[in-house]
Amino acid sequence: MDLNKISRKLSKILRHDPYPFTISDDGWISTQAIINYYNITLDDLIYIVETNDKKRFSLNDDNTLICANQGHSNGIAENKVFTQITDVETEFVLYHGTDDVIAELIKNDVMKTGKRQHVHWTPNIDLAKKRANQRSEWNKTKPVLITLKIKTYLNNKGKIFISDNNVYLTPEIKTLFLNFINL
C-alpha cells in the first residue's frame, strides 16, 4: 500500500476513529498493531512520521507506540497529551487563518472548536496567512486572520495547551479576546 495513503489513514485512526485498533486514553496505539494491519515495516512507519509535512504524529522513545500530536475529535485526555500553558512572561500573539464568512459567524457568537476538541493556533503569522488564503480559495471568500493575545487570555482564566509539534490549542473562545484582520 502507498505510504501516503497509510499516512492519511493513520491521521483518521489516531485523531478521530481508532477502529479496529485499541487506543489509550492518552492517544497511543501499538506500532506493532499498525505494522501488522498495513503489512509495512517499522522503517516505513518511522518514515511516515518523519516526513509528514504537518508533523502530525509522534513515536515514543522505543518506537513501540504512535500517537497524533493534535486534531483529535475522539475525546483523548488533553492533560495527558498536551502541555498546558498557565503563564507567560510577555504578551505574544497567536494566529488562526480563516475566511470572512467564518469570521462573521465567530464575531456573532464564539470561536468554536468545530468537530475537533480544540481551536488550533500558531505563533507563525506566515503559516496562518497561508491557511487563510487556502480556505478563502476553496470557499471563494476573502482571507481573514484572527489573533489572540495569549497573556491577556491567560490572565482571564483562559485555557491553552501546546502540542509536541508546536500547535497551540484552546477550547472555544469568546470574541472579546479576539481581533480580526482582513487580508
| DSSP code for 65 | E
What are the tens digits of pLDDT across the range 154-175?
A: 999 999 999 888 899 999 999 9
71 pLDDT band, cuts 50/70/90, is low
The segment(s) of the chain belonging to CATH 3.20.170.30 are 84-182
Cα-Cα-Cα-Cα dihedral sign, residues 35, 74, 4, 61: negative
CATH classification (class only), 3-69: mainly alpha
| Residue limits of CATH 1.10.10.970 in the chain | 3-69
Q: What pLDDT shows up at residue 169?
A: 92
Query: Which grid cell is 3?
Result: 505510504
Nearest alpha-carbon partner for 30 in 61, 56, 67, 2 = 67
Question: What's this model's pTM, rounded to 2 decimal places?
Answer: 0.73
Please write the tens of the pLDDT for every residue from 3-48: 889 998 898 888 888 888 998 888 899 999 999 999 999 999 999 9
CA distances from 35 to 10, 16, 42, 89, 152 (A): 11, 19, 7, 44, 45
Does domain 84-182 fall into CATH 3.20.170.30? yes
